[in-house]
Structure 1
Amino acid sequence: MSGNPFEPTPSTDGAETVALSPLPGIHARAESDTLTQEQIKRTYAWYAPIYDQLFGAVYAHGRRRMAAALRTLAPQRVLEVGVGTGLTLNCYPATSSIVGIDLSEPMLARARRRATRLGLTDVDLRIMDGESTPFPDASFDCVTVPYVLSATPEPARLVRELRRVCRPGGNIVILNHFSGSRFWWLLERAAQPLSSKVGFRSDFHFEEHVARHDWKILSVESANPFGLSRLVVIENV
């Protein structure tokens, strides 16, 4: 086990306008922070028409930092878990072949339109559960997980699958919110009871979900406003 106590260093898609109903259950009090696939599908179907407006600019710095890391790694074959509306598709080197997967068909439909608009030809977008994929062992040089680890039903199961499909010596790149920033502490606590309704866990710890695993953490850096997220580059061992 690595036991590395890393700390971070100090749109539109051209789609039609859609009238939205209230986010399902947003006013209900959740009994726990558990997430299910059906909750995630319902929530992100609701988010899809407005996801880029809600999260595009807020998470843009993290996507730029991920792009810089990927240029250095220069992977040939990449799996992106949770490709969403495709906001990260232009992060990858032109020489990389990309497979992007997501649970949400409405989100993925927007990713397909974005890939077409960007003229991306070596991109394969599929509906799929990241916790259980049909890919053979060691299929990819790099697996990226942008803003997904805290938005999956079983994070530990997702980690096992990432490691299985990434070749030994390849890289896993995690971009995610982790608890600990003083600036976001109050908001994390306020959002925690609603995690099953908003589609992600606000109370999510780096030590439990990243540092405890027996992989090699190469770097950790802060990303997004006021340390909202961390970019973690890992060597799969």
Structure 2
Amino acid sequence: MGNSQQDVTPISKKASLERSRISESSDSTLLSRAQVERSYRRYAPVYDLLFGASLGPGRVAMTRLVQTLAPKHILEVGVGTGLTLSQYPATSRITGIDVSQEMLASARQRVPPEDAKRIDLHAMDAESMDFADGAFDCVTLPYVLSVTPNPDRLVREVRRVCRPGGHILIVNHFSGQAPWRLLESIARPLSSWLGFRSEFSLERHVLSHDWSVLSVTPTNLLALSRLIHIKND
């Protein structure tokens, strides 16, 4: 795939669904909310050290795309320690949610006093959000889709709270990239302890949904992750 942007719109729904059935068994690791919360309680003190720089290019690519869209109201699902908050447009209102109180505590320390009125952070389960339908112009999901217990439920909620015609941006690791296959298989038995699925299908969890995928762009070292731009229609 290299480093260029890939237009995925010509991929037929039939082909996508067929590949999703083949790959579904490889990313079927069960995660509970309690497991995720325990994992990120462990990660909270060292998250920035472990994943700040290594996953930083994906966050930068995502927030640069948000800058070009200039949305009025952004929802970040899985805001974590708040590494992206300062990179969003200064004119946008930002709402961030996370299930980890420990991660949110770090995020709140990143919000300067002058931005306190336009940045709201909440402890919330993204699979059951307390927001009205169509409340946000843009929803971002940095490294969260393979972490949530039920990705399909999360997708439904994200589409519900994003206005029709709004934008959904996903940055995530999806399995199948040649340099990472061995590590993915090694990490699979540890997924529950790690709090994320190492084997996770792009076809099953993104391309099979009836939304408009505008682009899929490789990011991070050796295309570890992909940035996906979706129109909520």
- TM-score band (shorter)? 0.7 to 0.9
CA contact (8 A) 1:183 1:226 kept: yes
Q: 1:87 to 1:129 in 2, by over 3 A?
A: same
What is the aligned partner in structure 1 of residue 56 from structure 2?
Answer: 60
In structure 1, the residue matched to 2:138 is 142
Q: Give the TM-score normalised by structure 2.
A: 0.87
**How much has 1:90 moved relative to structure 2?**
1.7
Structure 2 CA distance for aligned equivalents of residues 190 and 89 of structure 1: 33
The alpha-carbon deviation at position 219 of structure 1 amounts to 1.1
How far apart, CA to CA, are the structure 2 residues paired with 1:3 and 1:205?
A: 18
Native 8 Å contact 1:141 1:167 kept in 2: yes
TM-score by length of 1: 0.86
Looking at structure 2, the residues matched to 82 and 4 of structure 1 have their Cα atoms a distance apart, in angstroms, of 29
What per-residue deviation string (whole Å, max 9, x for no partner) do you get for residues 4-39 of structure 1?
37xxxxxxxxxxxxxxxxxxxxxxxxxx72110111
Q: Does 1:90 align with 2:90?
A: no
Q: Secondary structure at the match of 1:184?
A: helix
- Pairs aligned (count): 209
- Displacement of 1:41 after TM fit? 0.8
Amino acid in structure 1 at the alignment position of 2:171: L
In the alignment, is the contact (CA less than 8 A) between 1:140 and 1:166 conserved in 2? yes
- Listed as ranges, the matches of 1:12-27 within 5 Å are none
Alignment of 1:1-150 (within 5 A): 4=11, 33-116=29-112, 119-121=114-116, 122-150=118-146
Quick one: distance in 2 between partners of 1:90 and 1:219? 24
Q: Distance in 1 between matches of 2:78 and 2:37?
A: 12
Distance, in Å, in 2 between the alignment partners of 1:228 and 1:186 is: 13
Shift of 1:3: 7.3
AA aligned opposite 2:115: L
Q: Which is richer in helix?
A: 2
Change (3 A) 1:75 1:4: farther
* SS state at 1:68 partner: helix
Written as runs of structure 1 = structure 2, the 5 A alignment for 1:166-181 is: 166-181=162-177
- In 1, distance between residues paired with 2:10 and 2:75? 26
Question: Considering only aligned residues, what root-mean-square deviation do their CA atoms show, in Å?
Answer: 1.3
- For the Cα contact (< 8 Å) 1:4–1:217, is it kept in 2? no
Which stretch of structure 1 is more off in the superposition, 83-92 or 206-215? Answer: 83-92
The one-letter code sitting in structure 2 at the alignment partner of 1:164 is R
User: 1:116 deviation in Å?
Assistant: 2.9
- How much identity, in percent, do the aligned residues show? 57
Q: Which amino acid aligns with 1:46?
A: R
| Matched letter for residue 201 of structure 1 | R
Q: Counterpart of 2:38 in structure 1: which amino acid? A: R
Runs of 4+ in 1 over 3 A off after TM superposition: 2-5
Which 5+ residue runs of structure 1 have no aligned equivalent? 6-31
3-state SS of 1:207 partner: helix
Cα shift at 1:129: 0.2
2: distance between equivalents of 1:38 and 1:116? 31
Letter in 1 for 2:11: N
* Structure 2 residue 158 is the aligned partner of structure 1 residue 158: no
Q: What is the identity, as a one-letter code, of the residue corresponding to 1:179?
A: S
Aligned partners of 1:4, 1:95: CA distance in 2, in Å?
36
